[in-house]
């Protein structure tokens, strides 16, 4: 498969692409492309029948940046099943970061500027809070079920679970 340079107007986003991007990450992607344009050449868009199956967010960013041409690899010969598999696998990240190595061996590099979400104590705190919230139980009841609900809440309280009651009238 050969890389080709074609007008950006000949490439369309795949309307079935399940990936999304936040405004913040989109800005980081645009900065990454602007700061290191050579990546576009060595990491071309993957297209089939004129639709991107690998690199939809990059295409959006390049259009926003005013690119006129893009590098692509055309895989139109692939079956639809193979295209779908590629689209998902291309966006599945099997590896994970060794944060100790990043902190000790890569700490002089602008990792945040390169859009690498590095560990912070605030993130750990947020994860812990999310875990607490994910085990929260909310009980709503009608006035006629007050006694039964009260007994249930008391039983849970006595089991050392964290209970925050919310009572509203129906």
Q: Are strands 51-54 and 3-7 parallel, antiparallel or unpaired?
A: unpaired
pLDDT in tens, 42-79: 999 999 999 999 999 999 999 999 999 999 999 999 99
Angle between helix axes 56-64 and 23-35 (nearest 10 degrees) is: 70
Q: Give strand pairing partners of 47.
A: 52, 74
Question: Rounded to an integer, what distance in angstroms lies between the CA atom of residue 146 and that of residue 150?
Answer: 6
Asked if residue 21 lies in contact with residue 29, where contact means CB atoms within 8 angstroms, the answer is: yes
Task: Show the domains of the chain with their CATH numbers.
Answer: 3-94 (3.90.1530.10), 121-158 (no CATH)
Helix (H) / strand (E) containing 102:
helix 99-105
Write down the pTM of the prediction: 0.64
Q: What angle do CA 50, 54, 60 make, to 5 degrees?
A: 75
User: Where do runs of H (alpha helix) occur along 10-163?
Assistant: 23-35, 38-42, 56-64, 80-90, 99-105, 121-134, 146-158
pLDDT for res 166:
44
Burial class for 56, CB neighbours closer than 10 Å (0-12, 13-18, 19+): buried
> What is the sign, positive or negative, of the torsion defined by CA atoms of 109, 110, 111, 115?
negative
Q: Output b/e per residue, 119-136; b: 16+ Cβ within 10 A.
A: eeeeeeeeeeeeeeeeee
pLDDT in tens, 79-121: 999 999 998 888 887 777 787 877 777 776 777 777 777 665 5
Percent of all residues in the chain with a pLDDT value above 90, rounded to a whole number = 41
How many other C-beta atoms are found inside a 10 Å radius of the C-beta of residue 61? 22
């Amino acid at each position: 498969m050969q890389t080709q340079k074609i007008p950006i107007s000949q490439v369309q986003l795949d309307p079935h692409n399940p990936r999304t991007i936040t405004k913040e990450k989109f800005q980081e992607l645009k900065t990454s492309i602007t700061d290191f344009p050579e990546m576009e050449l060595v990491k071309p868009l993957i297209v089939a029948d004129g639709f991107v199956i690998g690199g939809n967010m990059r295409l959006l960013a390049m259009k926003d940046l005013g690119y006129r041409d893009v590098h692509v690899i055309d895989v139109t010969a692939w079956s639809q099943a193979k295209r779908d598999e590629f689209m998902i696998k291309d966006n599945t990240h099997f590896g994970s970061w060794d944060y100790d190595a990043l902190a000790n061996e890569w700490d002089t590099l602008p990792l945040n500027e390169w859009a690498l979400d590095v560990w912070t104590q605030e993130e750990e705190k947020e994860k812990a809070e999310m875990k607490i919230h994910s085990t929260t139980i909310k009980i709503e009841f009608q006035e006629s079920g007050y006694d039964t609900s009260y007994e249930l809440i008391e039983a849970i309280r006595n089991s050392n679970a964290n209970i925050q009651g919310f009572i509203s009238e129906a």
